[in-house]
Each structure stands twice: as structure tokens, then as C-alpha cells.
Amino acid sequence: MINIVIFGAPGVGKGTQAQLLAEKYDFLHISTGELLRQEVALGSPLGMRAKAIMERGDLVGDDIVVPLLSRSLETRSTLPDPDAATDPWDRERNGEPHRPEGCIIDGFPRTVSQAQTLEFLFSRLHRRIDLVVAIDVQRDELVRRIHERAAISGRADDTEEVIRHRLQQYDEKTQPVLDYYRVSGLLVSVDASGEIPDTNQRLCRVIDACLNHKQQ
């Protein structure tokens, strides 16, 4: 079983690639962006607090996103407790007991303090992060992809002003997370230029190598 963080700037394609990898390797996919958007759509207190922050392009605070992620890890993702009488990872799929082969998280962490919080959440569940994959692409390509996404999705946080602010926030607050994981030896960078299948192939090679290493 492997636990992966997929990392990169807004517009790099984290969500798309995470979903493709989840389907290929039978991973549970947890997207903090999707969790937040679900809360906004539900009109929950957390969602209402997050809505204005997201529309400005600011990073949603730990007081909002950490409870959502923690709840998802402990219930929706059901990471196993080796001391439990039954393994909560086991759940039905097509009427049969099924256990996902791992977990892939995108959209978190975005600060060094969140990286430390994520380690704590996993350790509390007797798990650890095995791999952090940073998806890299040129800045002008990032902006082009976000504009393209905005034309399709109509997301309120994909306006020109918000895009530039989010990228500035990434440079100032999120980029240091790469250094944090690089020191830990968990970080692998993958070129995301080109088409989606090309990037996916590169990511698969990295994950295959990690899986083979764990099996040795």
C-alpha cells in the first residue's frame, strides 16, 4: 500500500493526473479543492467561510481545510488501524469486499506547516507518506491552461486577477514545501509539458519505481 502527495502550481493538472492515477492503480483520490467546493455547494458553515477566500485566490486557512481533510482521511478514506478488530479500508465494490491499493492526495499541503500537519494526520492513522510528486510546467503554459479551464468550467476562482494572485501565493507560500520534501528525500519532479497522456506516462514510471522499491 502506498500513499502519495501530488504537488504543483494552480493549473498544472494535479486533479486530472491524480484521478487518472487513482483509476489505474486503484488508489483512493482525495482532493482538498473538491472537498472545499463540495462544502461551498452544500452551503455549510465551513463552505461559506471558504467561498470568499477561494474567490479572492487566497489560500484557505488551516482552520478550514485541515478539519475537512482529517474527516476525509478518517471516514471517507478509511485508512486502516492495524490494532482495530476489523480493517476499515475493506469496503464493498460491486458487492465484494475491496481494499484500495493506496491513497493519492492533491491540493494539500500548500505550506510547510500543512506538510507537518499532514504527517501528523497520517501518523495518527499508523501510516506515512511514501512519495511526493511535483508536476512542473512553464508559467506561461500554466496561465494558458487555467484560462482554458475557466472557459470550460466557469469557476469563480479562474478570473485573470485571481489567477495571477493564486500564482503569487504559490510562489510565496507553497514553493518552500518543495524544499521541505526535497530534504526528506520524498520528492520527485515530473515534467508536465505536452499532452496529458505524456505526463501520465512519466508519472506512472515514477510510481512504478516506488512500488517496486516497496516490494523489495
Q: Count the alpha carbons within 13 Å of 25 in the hemisphere toward its beta carbon.
A: 27
pLDDT band, residue 135 (cuts 50/70/90): very high
Q: Is the pLDDT assigned to residue 89 strictly greater than 60? A: no
At the topology level, CATH places domain 2-215 in Rossmann fold (3.40.50)
User: Are β-strands 96-98 and 91-93 bridged in parallel, bridged antiparallel, or unpaired?
Assistant: antiparallel
Question: pLDDT tens digit string along 9-26?
Answer: 888 889 899 999 999 998
* Phi and psi torsions of 198, nearest 5°: -65, -45
Name the percent of the chain in helix, strand, coil, to the closest 5. 55, 15, 30
Per-domain residue ranges of the chain: 2-215
